[in-house]
Structure 1
Amino acid sequence: MSTPHSPQPPVYCHKCKQIIEQRIITALGQTWHPGHFACKDCEQPITDATFNIQDNEPVCTDCFVKNYSGTCFGCKQPIMERTIKAMEQSWHEECFLCNGPCKKPLAGTSFYERDGQPYCRVDYEQLFAIRCAGCDQPIIDNAIVALKAKWHRSCFKCKKCGTPITASTFAVEENQPMCKDCSG
């Protein structure tokens, strides 16, 4: 004895609320007549396999670029995927790079800003940090200020014997520090 098949419940279109009897589009957890699956902005049917979503409604690629996507500060092209927000700008992840010589990606890392451009720590220090009067390398922590210059603590030493000068008074010869023993 066979049991009769129970009829399938009707499927309704999300847009017009009418029963869909032929081809069905299923997207965004809803069902649609093919002509009703349309861009929420321009109202043209979406026929591409890929589309964008805004306010849980479909948006065609053209309208998404025109109305919703940001423009990458780095390459000036529309951002269609993950956006990096940094320095009050939007960036493609692959365009948010150190502006220094290394050009390393900076997404997800700490960075320094100078004149509206991002820099990694190493390039920032090499390009912009104050240089030590003793070794000419960047000073990134505490410095000694003496003789109209800044010095690493370890670089502020007697020009004759090389002993670090830690006293508050010292002698000067040819604009270089000298310890009391060498100056006497």
Structure 2
Amino acid sequence: MTERYDCHYCKESLFGKKYVLREENPYCVKCYESLYSNTCEECKKPIGCNSRDLSYKDHHWHEDCFHCFQCKRSLVDKPFSTKDEQLLCTECYSNEYSSKCHECKKTIMPGSRKMEHKGNSWHETCFTCQRCQQPIGTKSFIPKDNHNYCVPCYEKQFAMQCVHCKKPITTGGVTYHDQPWHKDCFLCTGCKQQLSGQRFTSRDDFAYCLNCFCNLYAKKCASCTTPISGLGGSKYISFEERQWHNDCFNCKKCSVSLVGRGFLTERDDILCPECGKDM
């Protein structure tokens, strides 16, 4: 007697019929597809034993259902992308979701190099200097009036020139008498030290640090012989072509301050009235 060979699930005989083995158990095609076939993501029908099952991230498709969501072209054996669980060919994905070049308005294809600045994107070959039209690439650039400039072109076209050395001022300029200077060029006429960041004064349109100005032009105190700058609100006393610092305007004999008081003179000395009585 011939041994029976039945479907593991419905028990119908499989003699003369197609069947599928699963875990060493035979199933008729109908039972196997009902129990184990994947459902197509597109048409929602089972993917039968005679159909090619294409899968991606736990989703399955019939071969004929595996196509671009927008243009419907087959994606079998072709590169594709997904958006919101929809299949898209590379071209449709790029047209819909890839960045557009700010210059030529064409799509920047995935994988191609692009340049970005303040929310805009460019093809690498489209990101060029407005003046020389050369690609900027990864070099420094300066935006102005919705255009981009390489640094040399920007300096030639827009940067102020130092009145002293005639070269462009890119950072750290100083304005003196409505004219631009580099910090390194704006120096004391006397000692040649930088004047940027410190107090200075001028004489005959030449700038001087306070020390040089005082040493060269300030009057000297009749008492201590050091310069009287008169700058910054400092006070001094003047009498008969002579000047004194306020702190130096004292009685020669008793050293009392004579500021705001009467005084007497004895040759080159000044005296308070009390000491003057003894003379």
- Which sits farther off after the overlay, 94-103 or 76-85? 94-103
1: CA distance, partners of 2:99 / 2:112: 11
Give the greater-gyration-radius structure (CA): 2
Equivalent in the alignment of 2:236:
143
Equivalent in the alignment of 1:177:
270
Number of equivalenced pairs: 179
Against the structure 1 CA distance between its residues 117 and 38, is the aligned structure 2 distance closer, same or farther, given a 3 Å change threshold? farther
Against the structure 1 CA distance between its residues 97 and 37, is the aligned structure 2 distance closer, same or farther, given a 3 Å change threshold? same
State the AA in 2 paired with 1:12.
K
Superposition TM-score, scaled by structure 2 size: 0.52
2: CA distance, partners of 1:23 / 1:155: 79
State the AA in 2 paired with 1:17.
K
Equivalent in the alignment of 1:5:
81
**Residue correspondence of structure 1 range 11-160 to structure 2 within 5 A:** 11-21=99-109, 23-29=112-118, 30-40=120-130, 42=131, 44-47=133-136, 49-101=139-191, 103=193, 105-107=194-196, 109-115=197-203, 116-139=205-228, 140=230, 141-158=234-251
2: CA distance, partners of 1:152 / 1:127: 18
RMSD of equivalent CA atoms: 3.2
Of Structure 1 and Structure 2, the greater strand share is in 2
2: CA distance, partners of 1:163 / 1:127: 29
- What secondary structure sits across from 1:91 in the alignment? strand
Superposition TM-score, scaled by structure 1 size: 0.73
Q: Quote the offset at 1:170 in angstroms.
A: 0.8
Q: Is there any run of 5+ residues in structure 2 with no aligned partner, and where? A: 1-54, 58-79, 83-92
- What secondary structure sits across from 1:58 in the alignment? strand
Q: Is there any run of 5+ residues in structure 1 with no aligned partner, and where? A: none
2: CA distance, partners of 1:73 / 1:144: 40
Against the structure 1 CA distance between its residues 154 and 85, is the aligned structure 2 distance closer, same or farther, given a 3 Å change threshold? closer
Among the aligned pairs, what percent are the same residue? 26
Does the aligned pair in 2 maintain the 1:155–1:164 contact within 8 Å? no
2: CA distance, partners of 1:47 / 1:117: 42
Residue 168 (str. 1) matches residue 262 (str. 2): yes
Q: Tell which has more relative contact order, 1 or 2 (C-alpha 8 A, sep 6+).
A: 1
For residues 128-183 of structure 1, the C-alpha deviation after alignment (integer angstroms, 9 at most, x for no partner) is 43321222212242111112221123433455x3634624241342x443455356
Does the aligned pair in 1 maintain the 2:162–2:168 contact within 8 Å? yes
State the AA in 1 paired with 2:99.
V
